[in-house]
Structure 1
């Protein structure tokens, strides 16, 4: 039989003293603890109490305060329409919300930034306090819908919370390690970049033992009114696999442009540090860069592979290699968004650049180059051949991003292209595009240039500063048949122009500045020269006597033009040789690409029979022509015939007598590239035979008759 319960009255006084003594002893031990230890223990006790209350109640009583606090903090209406849970389970935060929604700003086209029938997440609590990334260990999302949209002016977006006038920030996704998604959609709109996309996500159970499930997505959209499609999947590893990684596969198509990405992710949506492989193919690289919101010159067909990962705010493309057209390319590139503005940095190299692949960079059609080759660079406009490309610069596109690119080329492949070791430093800073320096080796010489395009205003302003260091003429012209053994002369040049316009043609057609080519002392042997359709050998033979039995001994020479509103006038053309002085008149036009030049060589010594007469170069840049028979030569022949009829046949030779009164040029002003007004004879006299020349044809192609008549009187010496 059990003992009856002991009443409090039956407890002896000694027992009571024992209990009281224990409590007193506990209080004494508590008081003896350091103050810091007592505070820590109180904090632990309070936290445990909070944890216990939340665990028991599942934190459902926080639903109202949660909506109020989050709505106030985000300055958006945040609602939970159904069940709500927020507690520690046991150490990670469990967040569950049914009928969850976040409103959009008033300007947005959709009422909600995000809605979901259910969100069930396990969140790392320390990530809410430390670090800049929120870590979600697992996420269940049912029938979610996200609307990501930029304003029309590109200044604000729907996901930048707080002040509605706050500048839009880049989208930062939380790190999600494992996810189950059912019936979720994503909508993205960027009116300024002309981009729209609609994606649908769903989860299916994987059919193997390694992966537990597969988050698949499909979608479509438009980029600058061009449609694209997207599909892919994220294979999440089975929980029983230690250290398993998510596998990502993405395939995107836009017309003939193809992108394929495959690799591993640390988490279901954890792109940071991902190990990915990219393969890109298509007809034109500019179409691909449109997806980045960047402008690139057109190219021919390409294929590239690259390692791809994300580190911080940078997307890094490393071990980049492939080809465009008939040219190779390798290197690395990064894309980031500092201050919300796209920045592209690249260090790339081409071992062999095909000349045809250079064409699209300056405005020639890649499709025509692909079909017609070099013939595609010439078009017929108003019945005249045009060589300078007229494709407009995408000024609006380059205003949207910045770039820093270093590009090196080992050599250029193509007919008669003695160019090697190209080095280009490109910088685009808020619509100011500089190619500085742009350098390359050419036939033993060195070309350095600085080209700046200022698109900060309209029209685009371009400055060209191109410099050729002293270059052996033999090597320079060797590709066209010059016998180097007889050519020792050198050549140096500078082009300094400024023009307005959105294309190469427009820019040069409005250009102002100066072009100068200087020939220091040396010799030239021009036998067997033939440059394109213009027979330089014939030209020089007509200029100088003895038909080049010996090399021409050049004392100094200057071929210079002053350019005004796209029209280049000879200022001056003056070449002094041992036996002759060659002067030139006329010029050319960047406007209609016409050539109208006349050259004449006068002997320094008496010559009984001199057939020299002005030799003309006419036609167009794309189709030049040489006129070896001039009106003066016909005039001499007519005069000779007349003298033969009225006198003796010997008298007819008097028409071809050259008294040899050509005045040698002072080489000082010539070698400094001075204008015609500064040229002097060796005696210091001002030259009267190198006045400013002008082109004879205007934009319409009609001659300025009065100016042309004056030129003929002063230069051709018509009787």
Structure 2
């Protein structure tokens, strides 16, 4: 054989032998000797300690690639490593210990990427992982992998596949200490992993269960990750089913969501959204989230549900922004139960408060709610939300409909502009401003109310009472109040302003007042007229409110039997009543109308008595009565606001301007005129 041929064969044999020898060596090499090198490179890439403590084995696998996309590199098998008893520690600035551990992990390694100092792993499989997620403050956690100082090696991980295991979250920021136990599911075409949740969130017990997919895509954000779960946290229940995109960074959410609980206000720890106190509620709808960092957007679309016994539906959206997020939306109710509005101002029972997670602090002897408003939450976001209720039902039915209001919350100032509704053939138009920013008054609300009621028909107010259907009278009223406080009780106790009302041509009875819930009027009526219905020509009232005391400027009632003048005040701070009714009989047939009536006691427990020692005299023995001319002038706008035809209040107040009437016996007349 020629020498050149021998050389050529030797070179060719060497070329062939080297890779064959390399393959034999690689297949028979004890890869446990490579653990220190792999540990060091993984530690350098992840900036935290990584240790393979068990056996390390190697096999060779071709990567699955579609024939149309295959290149020459895809014919070369990749090394597939399996490591047992793998541990990854916490970053240097946190408590040392394992962030994650697994019974085994396996992955294929792209050999070509190693030439560029890149550890490229298409898929990482964990068996029985145990993960400890820790967060100690807003900027320190163990799940953020920092890139500084830069490493010569970098990690490129595409997706994670896991089987049964445990994930524990200890978050000191959100006050969460919860554990999820994972297990594989058999014969489920959509979900591969089942989970059970237990622990605490904001000192409330949290439990839950659900299912997820097994493949967690880290690079392909378009690959949806299926999630289904039911969670109970304290007084809130949440059920959701849908998908997450790029779940590690929560890039997007698309789920059907059902939420229920004792009060919408209890959602604040979970959502950061300021929602009102409500009765028990449940809603379900379509939740969409686009969670770009610093610009997250959420929308809860086409939701329906119930709050107490009232139905609700609509759409809400939240936009993350600076200095605070903005919530917008439209909410409507076809049938709103009036009693379901009670928790908004704390006007529900102590048992109801306890059920919705609020301390049952309403004193048994107080009528005005003492539950404090949580104004510290009002600066958490801004809001522009409209609410419309087509029909409103009270326990004793009142004809209220078409409530419409717009909630505008900005910089801690809540405005209801407008707050309008139709009422018994008339309407009530109002605006409310509640400044809870703390700029004016610390830890309290500076409140302003302006309201006008017009053309409220008495016969429509009580459509089920035959004795009132022949009346043609109306109610017209105005209120302007300002106050400072942190509850309804403290707001009323500091209120200033005025209240005015005229009722023209109607019928009143004990039954009517019972339907209105006016216990004081009910008792007074029984003392004056017995239980019979009484025709009311006019009722005119004008109160000045100063530092929580509502003082009568004018309060006069004209019936077919008598004209009744009322003097005194109602102290809204102490809830004490001090009113004196002086009836002036139109006929001698009603002897009981000659005695003054005193209304004392409290708003919750009024006490009505008659002074039998003082008789109402007419003509020569008349009681002196205070002049009504000046106070009556203040009620003139309400007369013009009503119907001028058959307006008995106009005649009554015109007569009152000319006719002097007297203070209690022993005090001088305030007019030179005498009663004729």
Aligned to 1:568: 550
* Contact 2:569/2:577 (8 A) holds in 1: yes
Q: CA deviation at 1:326?
A: 1.4
Alignment partner, residue 469 of structure 1: 453
The question of whether the paired residues in 1 share the 8 Å contact of 2:375 and 2:436 is answered with no
* Structure 1 equivalent of residue 402 of structure 2: 421
686 and 188 in structure 1: CA distance in 2 versus 1, 3 angstrom threshold: farther
Contact 2:51 2:88 in 1 (8 A): yes
The equivalent of 1:670 in structure 2 is 635
Match of 1:103 in 2: 91
1:451 maps onto 2:436 in alignment = no
**1:261 and 1:278 in contact (8 A); partners too:** yes
Question: Where does residue 392 of structure 1 map in the other structure?
Answer: 372
Match of 1:233 in 2: 211
Is 1:441 matched up with 2:422?
yes
- Checking the alignment, whether the CA contact within 8 Å between 1:433 and 1:453 is kept in structure 2 is yes
CA displacement at 1:429 relative to structure 2: 3.8
CA shift, 1:399, in A, is: 5.0
SS of equivalent residue, structure 2 residue 462: helix
- Note the 1:340-351 alignment, pairs <5 A: 344-351=327-334
1:162-202 CA distances to partner (integer Å, 9 max, x unpaired)?
A: 899xxxxxxxxx997653356453423144x5x21333464
Which residue of the other structure, out of 113, 129, 135, is the alignment partner of 1:149?
A: 135
Change (3 A) 1:573 1:535: closer
Residue equivalent to 2:151: none
Which string of whole-angstrom CA distances, capped at 9 and with x for unpartnered residues, describes residues 85-129 of structure 1? Answer: xxxx979x9999975445164xx6x34795556696999xxxxxx
Q: Distance in 1 between matches of 2:554 and 2:405?
A: 33
Q: Give me the CA root mean square deviation.
A: 5.6
Aligned equivalent of 1:591: 573
Residue 312 of structure 2 corresponds to residue 329 of structure 1:
yes
The question of whether the paired residues in 1 share the 8 Å contact of 2:391 and 2:402 is answered with yes
**Deviations 1:481-519 (Å, cap 9, x if unpaired)?**
572533434412113121223x2222222x131132143
Q: TM-score, normalised by structure 2?
A: 0.66
Alpha-carbon contact 1:272-1:309 (below 8 Å) kept: no
Deviation at residue 278 of structure 1 after TM alignment: 2.4
Aligned partner of residue 308 in structure 1, secondary structure: strand
In structure 2, do the counterparts of structure 1 residues 289 and 582 end up closer, same or farther at CA, with 3 Å as the change threshold?
same
Contact kept, 8 Å, 1:435 with 1:450, in 2: the verdict is yes
Alignment partner of 1:483 is 2:480:
no
The aligned runs of 1:29-68 (5 Å cut-off) are: none
Unaligned runs of 5+ in 2: 8-33, 57-62, 64-72, 111-119, 149-155, 639-652, 672-676
* Distance verdict in 2 for CA 1:475–1:260, change over 3 Å: same
Q: Conserved in 1, the CA contact under 8 Å of 2:505 and 2:535?
A: no
Secondary structure at 2:512's aligned position in 1?
A: coil
TM-score (norm 1): 0.63
SS of the equivalent of 1:389 reads coil
Alpha-carbon contact 1:200-1:218 (below 8 Å) kept: yes
Q: Deviations over 1:334-384 (max 9, x none)?
A: 455445966554432221122232222221456735999xxxx99664xxx
Cα 1:683–1:617 change in 2 (3 A) is closer
- For each residue in 1:271-322, what CA deviation from the matched residue of structure 2 results, as whole angstroms up to 9, or x when unmatched? 6554422233444444344332445444433333222232232333222112
Query: Cα gap change, 1:531/1:238 in structure 2, threshold over 3 Å: closer, same or farther?
Result: closer
Instruction: Output the CA distance in 1 between the equivalents of 2:147 and 2:581.
Output: 73
Distance 2:236 2:633 in 1: 59
Aligned 1:511-550 pairs, distance under 5 A: 511-519=494-502, 522-526=504-508, 530-532=512-514, 534=519, 536=521
Please state if 1:214 is matched with 2:189: no
- Structure 2 residue matching 1:531: 3-state secondary structure: helix
Alignment of 1:232-381 (within 5 A): 232-236=210-214, 246-254=225-233, 257-265=236-244, 272-294=251-273, 296-312=275-291, 313-335=296-318, 337-339=320-322, 344-365=327-348, 368-369=351-352, 381=364
- Taking a change above 3 Å as real, the CA distance of residues 140 and 671 of structure 1, as seen in their structure-2 partners, is farther
- In 2: Cα distance, 1:451 partner to 1:237 partner: 52
Q: Give me the whole-angstrom Cα distance separating, in 2, the residues matched to 1:311 and 1:203.
A: 29
Q: Contact conserved, 1:116 with 1:141, CA < 8 A, in 2?
A: no
In the alignment, the residues of structure 2 paired with residue 541 and residue 427 of structure 1 have an alpha-carbon distance, to the nearest angstrom, of: 46
Report the CA distance shift for 1:185/1:525 in structure 2 as closer, same or farther (over 3 A). closer
Cα shift at 1:465: 0.4
In 2, are the aligned partners of 1:181 and 1:215 still within 8 Å (CA)?
yes
Deviation at 1:467, TM superposition (A): 0.2
2:491 match: secondary structure: helix
Say whether the 8 Å CA contact 2:91–2:142 is kept in structure 1: no
2:488 to 483, 504, 517: 504
| Alpha-carbon distance between aligned partners in 2 of 1:609 and 1:364, rounded to the nearest angstrom | 41
**1:259, distance to aligned residue in structure 2 (A):** 2.3
Q: Distance in 2 between matches of 1:713 and 1:176?
A: 95
CA 1:688/1:120 → structure 2, altered by over 3 Å: closer, same or farther?
farther
Distance 2:460 2:606 in 1: 20
